[in-house]
Structure 1
Amino acid sequence: MEAITNVSVRIVQRYLPSAFVLAVMLTAIVFMLGMGITRQSPIDMVTYWGDGFSALFKFGMQMTLVLLTGYVLALTPVVQTALSGLTRHAGSPRQAILLTIVVSFVCYYLNWGFGMVAGAILAREMGQRVAGIHFPLLVAAAYGGELVRGPSSSIPLVIATPGHFMEDAIGIVPVSQTLYSGWNIALTLLLLALLLAFFARQKQPEHIVTLQMTDQTASEPTEPPATHDGTPSDRIEHSRLPTLFLGAMAALYLIVQAVNDGLSIDLNTVIIFFLALGLLLHRSPKAYLAAAEKGVSAARGIIVQFPLYAGIAGMMTGSGLVTHFSEAVISLATPATFPILTFLCAGIVNFFIPSGGGQWAIQGPIMMEAAAAIGADPAQTIMAFTWGDGWTNQIQPFWALPLLGVAGLSARDIMGYLIIWLVISGLAIGGVFAALALLG
């Protein structure tokens, strides 16, 4: 396994282009497939691309703010002290990797946006404070848990909500049959065990790559000089009152929402939570903005590349490629093989439409109608689709961009490890669905 992983790492580092170039290549591939398979004209494909280009503007801004507010929070003195205490429990590179996996996996399970930033920040702290650790391996380990499907997984939550858009066809499927079923919890624990085992077996390479700290990526708190010129404007810039006021407002909002509507974790909640803590824990507006200046550069990949993937999704849906592909997979299915084929189908399409909710809106009705027609279990079909949607995130730079931005790495630095983890996790997930088919 170690030898195979080393070969994968070398191949990826040599041949995988940057995430931006890969997005352009995927755009060209879908453009050609639309013309070749669904017989669309070049003008049609360009129109679909342009119509979809702006579809992820809101989501892209949310992801930018998740990264930025989490980054700023990480640079507060309190969080730096806590992270330093955590890293003291890692006395060797292997211990650092295993601890990073467990913490990031739990955070991903609770909310993938929170896990993305928390895992990247912890990996960066481990890379800075644990001697002799290969930083790309550590970051890959932190990202490996991203495939886990937890309480914030949109597809099972939508299907369990009264009034969802497919209720007339499949009714309400409670989360007790999907996310919190015994077999799904067992699969989650199995993946954590496999993730730990896989990365525990990876030896530090002969030529390790250490964390490269620059003025823009340094993880030490950024505090402006305490001295100032004494003017009213300068005094307020160095005062705690503005940040305390705004931070208290954000915190109070979250409390009110939790009391009125119950605790619900989504991207907006994560952003406001990070914002509130960052404002309350930084010493002044000057300190907060100095930390934000560092975080902005980490978000450049999201800002530039998310619209490209939205354009790809626009071409996939507008040209009918998604429907064509889904129907081709369904034609091969039996009740026993349908969940596995659903998992594979969702995983492949996810590479071109990296949005679980958007992908479900397009593929979901097709897959669930087919499941009913051949007698496949609806709850298993939903979770097969959900796991497939998360599975290929491991080799989809779209989802790795926030983590890579915080870590200061490129996709090629970690993908060699993640390709092997993709195979291992895919076999495990597929094996569970095959066993369920045999038992049921």
Structure 2
Amino acid sequence: MEAITNFSVRIVQRYLPSAFVLAVILTAITFLLGIAIAGQSPMAMVSYWGDGFSKLFTFGMQMVLVLLTGYVLAMTPIVKNALNTLAKQASTPKQALALTILVSFVCYYLNWGFGMVAGAILARAMGRSVKIHFPLIVAAAYGGELVRGPSSSIPLVIATPGNFMEKSIGIIPVSQTLYSGWNIALTIGLLVLLIAFFMLQKQPKDIVLLEDKEDDRIETKEFKGKMCFSDWIEHSRLPTLFLGLLAASYLIAKILNGSFSINLNSMILIFLSLGLMLHKNSVSYLNATESAVKAGRGIIVQFPLYAGIAGMMTKAGLVTIFSNAMISVATVKTFPLLTFLCAGIVNFFIPSGGGQWAIQGPIMMQAAYELGADPAQTIMAFTWGDGWTNQIQPFWALPLLGVAGLSARDIMGYLVIWLGISGVAIATTFMLIM
């Protein structure tokens, strides 16, 4: 295993381009596939790309704000001290890996956006506390991102009355999907496998340590000299405290009236509220924000590129062509496995679970009905496939990489092997439950 992982790390570091260049390459591949396979004209593909380019603007802004507000919260003295205290519970690299995986996996299970930020900042804290190969622990923190928990959009949509597929398949409760016995067992099994895989890794000879930059020690210098009103208000706690309490009051009101739910928007407000209240003043808050914006530059640039890819994939009919090709060779026993693989491959080009389900979902569920396959298993096969290839899709790792200060090639060598291990575990589960 060590030899295989080391080989994977070397290959990835040598040949994997930057996340931005990879997005451009995927754009070119999709463009050519649309012409060669779907029979579209070059100008039609250009039109599909342009129409899709702006589709993820809202989602992209949400991701930027999740990273920014989470990063700024992590820069507050109280959170840094708490993380450092937690990190000090690990005295060896293996203990650091196990603790990081466990905490980040639980956070991912609750909400993938929360797990992304929590995993990255905990990895940084471990990097300060323990002498460990930093790319290894960041990869370990990202490995749990494939878990499908209560915030998984696809099974939640299917369980909601009035969803767009209710007339064709009815309502399928989460007790048959997310909280089925086999799915809970699979989730626990993946956690055990993830810890075991990274515990088996040995640190390389050329160990890369965390670069503890000034960004990790953002402090507000005491103002010297006579203050005018503008100086006083900027260094006062009142503006940030007021805004933080305003956001907190809104969240508390939502909880009390029963309308609160954990999603990207509520997470942003939670992080924003806590960050504002825990920073000393607006100067400290904005200093932390400046560093966070630098960390989020990859998201800002690349999200529109993937939206353009998704536009070409859907409007050119590539998703339908690929899905039908997979279905044509399926049997009732192999259908969940092929659904898992199909969702995983398409996810590499359309990194949006809800958007991918809206396109592929009706095709896969109609095929499940015709073959006599279990609808709940089909839904979860699709859901797991959608998360599985996130492990080697730099798009989803951008928030974590931004906080950690690494590039995709630093961690993908480990994640390629984990992709194979987790894929075998998930595929075996679907074969056994049939």
Question: Normalising by the residue count of structure 2, what TM-score does the alignment of the two structures yield?
Answer: 0.99
Check the 8 A contact 2:218/2:287 in 1, yes or no: no
Identity of counterpart residues, as a percentage? 73
Listed as ranges, the matches of 1:160-199 within 5 Å are 160-199=159-198
Write out aligned runs for 1:167-316 (5 A).
167-215=166-214, 218-227=215-224, 229-316=226-313
Q: Is the 8 A contact 1:8 1:420 kept in 2?
A: yes
- 2:40 paired residue number: 40
**In 1: Cα distance, 2:425 partner to 2:103 partner:** 22
Contact 1:125 1:219 in 2 (8 A): no
Aligned partner letter, 1:191: L
Cα displacement (A) at 1:228: 5.5
Partner of 2:152: 153
The residue type equivalent to 1:415 in the other structure is M
Aligned partner of 1:6: which letter? Answer: N
Aligned residues of 1:224 and 1:290 also touching (Cα < 8 A): no
> Which amino acid is 2:362 matched to?
P
Distance change >3 Å, CA 229–CA 32, structure 1 → 2: farther
2:324 and 2:168 map into 1 onto residues whose CA distance is 18
* Root mean square deviation of aligned Cα: 0.9
Q: Which of 384, 388, 411 is the equivalent residue of 1:387?
A: 384
Deviations 1:361-407 (A, max 9, x none): 00000000110011000000000000000000000000000000011
Question: Match of 1:422, as an amino acid?
Answer: L
2:427 pairs with 1:419: no
Give matches, 1:359-374, under 5 Å: 359-374=356-371
- Corresponding letter in the other structure for 2:156: L
1:112 corresponding residue in structure 2: 112
Query: Residues 6-155 of structure 1: matches in 2 within 5 Å?
Result: 6-131=6-131, 133-155=132-154
* Residue type of the alignment partner of 1:419: V
- Structure 1: which amino acid aligns with 2:198? F
| CA–CA distance in structure 1, aligned partners of residues 108 and 324 of structure 2 | 32
Tell me the alpha carbon deviations over residues 116-135 of structure 1, each in whole angstroms, 9 at most, x when there is no partner. Answer: 0000000011112212x100
Alignment partners' CA distance in 1, 2:270 and 2:247: 7
Residue 257 (structure 1) shift: 1.1
Aligned to 1:432: 429
Report the Cα offset of residue 258 of structure 1. Answer: 1.5
Separation of aligned partners in 2, 1:77 and 1:425: 37
Greater mean alpha carbon deviation, residues 311-320 or residues 206-215: 206-215
Q: CA deviation at 1:56?
A: 0.5
Q: 1:260 and 1:380 mapped to 2: Cα distance?
A: 35
Instruction: Tell me the distance in 1 between the aligned counterparts of 2:216 and 2:226.
Output: 28
8 Å CA contact 1:119–1:143 kept in 2: the answer is: yes
Amino acid at match of 1:2: E
2:73 maps to amino acid: L
Secondary structure at the aligned position of 1:219 is classed as helix
Distance 2:315 2:232 in 1: 56
Rounded Cα–Cα distance in structure 2 between residues aligned with 1:225 and 1:25: 49
Q: Give 1:212 deviation, angstroms.
A: 1.8
**TM-score, length-normalised on structure 1?**
0.98
1:338 aligns with 2:342: no
Separation in 2, partners of 1:412, 1:293 = 25
**After alignment, is 242-251 or 161-170 more displaced?**
242-251
Q: Distance in 2 between matches of 1:122 and 1:412?
A: 20
- Check the 8 A contact 1:80/1:221 in 2, yes or no: no
Post-superposition Cα deviations, 1:31-83, rounded to whole Å, max 9, x if no partner, equal: 00000001100000000000000000000000000000000000101001101
CA contact (8 A) 1:228 1:235 kept: no
Deviation at 1:221, TM superposition (A): 3.6
State the distance in 2 between where 1:349 and 1:200 align.
31
Q: Secondary structure of 1:261's match? A: coil
Match of residue 406 from structure 2: 409
Partners of 1:177 and 1:354 in 2: CA distance:
25
Counterpart CA distance in 1 for 2:266 and 2:50 is 31
Q: Secondary structure at the match of 1:307?
A: helix
Kindly provide the CA deviation profile for residues 142-173 of structure 1, in whole angstroms up to 9, marking residues without a partner as x. 00000000000000000000000000000000
**Counterpart residue type for residue 252 of structure 1:** S
